């Protein structure tokens, strides 16, 4: 094997042209995060009056999320709709299409990470603002009621450790703060009991 062969990420030219470095493709998550970040920056640029990132607050983030509703594909029944609370309505209705809560939650998580990767401080991150967490919780609750599908945390099953009569399970403790997608606000607390 030749020790002077080019590495897979660097392509050297034998002519007078400079060598170029080929970067590996971004992961699906990284690509989506970059697209979301560019979309948000474009939104700020088109905002009336235009906003800079440094002046962006949680209220602007909520305004952005509401703007995105016009592109949503999830039917959210109004309380006046006869299908309110039905998971599988038997017919069509005129209720609006919205962004699904899970999509908004994931979007906020990606934007929160992108903000910090682009030099923003975690203390001043508008995507982690309390108002944004409250808004996401309200969207989650209202969509759950409207669609008749409550969003609940999955419970962990108890498991037997070894052959003894000691059982260990994991309790999920939720402070109700919401995660904004960037992490979890729940704590996993091991619970051990003797039977």
Confidence at residue 87, expressed as pLDDT on a 0 to 100 scale:
83
What pLDDT, on the 0 to 100 scale, is given for residue 86? Answer: 85
**Would you place residue 12 in the very low, low, confident or very high pLDDT band (cuts 50, 70, 90)?**
low
pLDDT tens per residue, range 121-175 = 989 999 999 999 999 999 999 999 888 777 776 677 777 666 554 444 444 444 4
**Any long-range contacts for 158-161 (C-beta under 8 Å, 24+ apart)?**
none
- What mean pLDDT is reported for the chain? 79
Q: Residue 173, by phi and psi: left (phi above 0), alpha (psi -120 to 50) or beta?
A: beta
Beta strands in 39-185 (DSSP E): 74-75, 97-98, 159-160, 166-174
Dihedral sign, CA of 77, 82, 85, 87?
Answer: negative
Q: b/e string for 51-67 if b means 16 or more Cβ within 10 A? A: beeeebebebbbebbee
Residues 6+ apart with CB under 8 A from 166: 192, 193, 194, 195
Q: pLDDT for 75-111, tens place per residue?
A: 899 999 999 988 888 888 999 999 999 999 999 999 9
Average pLDDT over residues 60-70: 96
Burial pattern 168-193, b for ≥16 Cβ within 10 A else e, equals: ebeeeeeeeebbbbbeeeeeeeeeee
Share of the chain above pLDDT 70, in %: 70
pLDDT at 193 over 90: no
Confidence class for position 194, pLDDT limits 50, 70, 90 = very low
Position 89 scores a pLDDT of 84
Please determine, for residue 116, whether its predicted confidence score (pLDDT) is greater than 80: yes
Domains of the chain (ranges; CATH) run 26-147 (1.10.150), 159-194 (no CATH)
DSSP letter string, 146-167: HHT----PPPPPPEE-TTSSEE
Enter the tokens of residue 63: 């305004």
The pLDDT of residue 156 is 72
Give 20 or 9, the one with higher predicted confidence: 20
């Amino acid at each position: 094997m030749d020790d002077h062969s080019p590495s897979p990420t660097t392509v050297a030219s034998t002519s007078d042209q400079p060598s170029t470095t080929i970067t590996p493709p971004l992961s699906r998550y990284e690509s989506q995060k970059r697209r979301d970040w560019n979309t948000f920056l474009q939104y700020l640029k088109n905002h009336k009056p235009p906003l800079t990132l440094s002046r962006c607050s949680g209220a602007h983030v909520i305004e952005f999320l509401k703007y995105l509703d016009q592109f949503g594909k999830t039917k959210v029944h109004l309380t006046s709709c006869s299908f309110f609370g039905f998971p599988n309505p038997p017919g069509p209705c005129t209720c609006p299409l919205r962004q699904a809560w899970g999509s908004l939650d994931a979007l906020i998580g990606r934007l929160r990470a992108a903000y910090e990767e682009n030099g923003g401080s975690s203390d001043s991150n508008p995507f982690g603002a309390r108002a944004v967490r409250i808004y996401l919780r309200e969207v989650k609750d209202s969509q759950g009621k409207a669609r008749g599908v409550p969003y609940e945390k999955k419970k962990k099953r108890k498991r037997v450790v070894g052959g003894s009569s000691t059982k260990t399970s994991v309790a999920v403790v939720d402070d109700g703060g919401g995660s904004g997608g960037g992490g979890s606000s729940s704590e996993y607390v091991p619970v051990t009991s003797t039977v």
